Amino acid sequence: MTTIYDIAKATEYSITTVSKVLNNYPNVSEKAKKKVLQAVEELGYTPNSSARTLATNKSWMIGVVFAEHLGVGMAHPFFSEVIESFKKQVELYDYDLLFVSRNMGLQKRTYKHLKHRGVDGVVVVQSLGEEAIEYSTSKLPTVFIDMPIEKSSAVYSDNKQGGMLAVDYLYGLGHRKIAHIAGRDTMFTAVERTRGFKLATHEKGLTIPEQYIVDGGYYSYEGGREAMVRLLGLEDPPTAVFVAGDEMALGAIKVIKEAGLRVPEDISVIGFDDIPLSKHVDPPLTTIRQDKQLIGQQSAVLLLDKINGLSKNNQDKIVPVQLIKRNSCSAL
């Protein structure tokens, strides 16, 4: 089997130079790259993962940690698209992913588990509560998605602006009785979307009854159903609802229809996320789109820069959101 030593001997370059070419280091001449890669092709060299780990002092593994609120993990449309984008970006640099959930029955905390596995860095999806402090204060390169953490880097959507966009749109359609099905207030994203809702309604001079803001839980279909039942049970129900997540919005629409009402003729509904299913339901869901591709890509770039020592400063990347108009909202 051809080894890195054979490549070094054939090219008359040092093992260090050959290793740099194979691992795509920038400080290598084009002449060296061309000669080494030609030898790789001619000799049929296939990198050995163990040898590469020894040569570079890296595991070439990135840990993916996610807080399991819904029992669906990465199957949730938003997170699956974000992590798929993240995965494509880090694979360009030959990294593999190791997935770890807090609810996988591990006997030790995820941080200790990943340190034991020797990962080069970690991406944390949503909050881990107190355990997040272990990552943010450690030397292990870490980036958080959907949750800013002090002393660490994070990438998340402009959730507050999304809430404001939703209210502005409904107000422009003539709605004044606007309710909000919120996510659980233990989540940063839910708090920010509700904050945007409250800021926008305040700016419009609207008085929103306390009963118009309902906890829909962790962005689930069932949570949206339960919250909408409560809103329809009010003596003076709303004419429009801003729902903090698309899956919750689909549950809310189902309840509205079961009550013999129509969307959007009787009640307008706007969601948040723009999951793939949103455009295919009846009626197609008006929503606030998160740029899931960019969130995943930016998270990967931040983490790879940290791993490679190109960035020592922590930073937050706030990704813009966009109003997507479909057919679930109409003029009052």
Q: Give yes or no for residue 98 having a pLDDT over 70.
A: yes
Mean pLDDT of the chain: 89
Pairing of strands 321-324, 286-290: antiparallel
Is the model more confident about 294 or about 138? Answer: 294
Task: Tell me what pLDDT residue 105 has.
Answer: 47
What CA–CA distance (Å, rounded) separates 199 from 307? 39
- Mean pLDDT computed over 174-185: 97
| pLDDT tens digits, one per residue of 9-19 | 999 999 888 87
Q: Are 24 and 61 in contact (CB under 8 A)?
A: no
* CA dist list (Å): 131 to 28, 288, 327: 40, 31, 42
pLDDT digits (tens, 9 = 90+) for 260-289: 999 999 999 999 999 999 999 999 999 999
Helices and strands in the chain, H and E counts: 12, 12
**Average pLDDT value for residue range 241-252:** 97
pLDDT for residue 252: 98
Q: What is the mean pLDDT of residues 36-58?
A: 73
Distance CA 205, CA 199 (A): 10
Residue 287, Cβ neighbours under 10 Å: how many? 29
pLDDT of the residue at 71: 53
Read off the pLDDT band of 50 (50, 70, 90).
low
User: For residue 132, is pLDDT > 90?
Assistant: no
Pairing of strands 178-182, 213-215: parallel
d(CA 225, CA 219): 11
Q: For residues 159 and 166, give the distance between their C-alpha atoms in angstroms, rounded to a whole number.
A: 11
**Mean pLDDT to the nearest integer, 23-43:** 85
Residues in the chain: 332
- Looking at residue 144, what is its pLDDT? 93
- Mean pLDDT to the nearest integer, 123-146: 80
Q: Examine the pLDDT at 125 and tell me if it is beyond 60.
A: yes
Query: Is this prediction's pTM over 0.85?
Result: no
Tell me the per-residue pLDDT of 212-234, one tens digit each, with 9 for 90 and over: 999 999 899 999 999 999 999 99
- What does the pLDDT read at residue 106? 44
Pairwise CA distance, residues 259 & 78, whole Å: 29
In order of 8, 29, 78, 302, the CA distances from 153 in angstroms are 39, 33, 20, 8
Q: What is the mean pLDDT of residues 175-188?
A: 95
Site of tokens 């003076």: 236
| CA 27-33-38 angle, 5° bins | 165
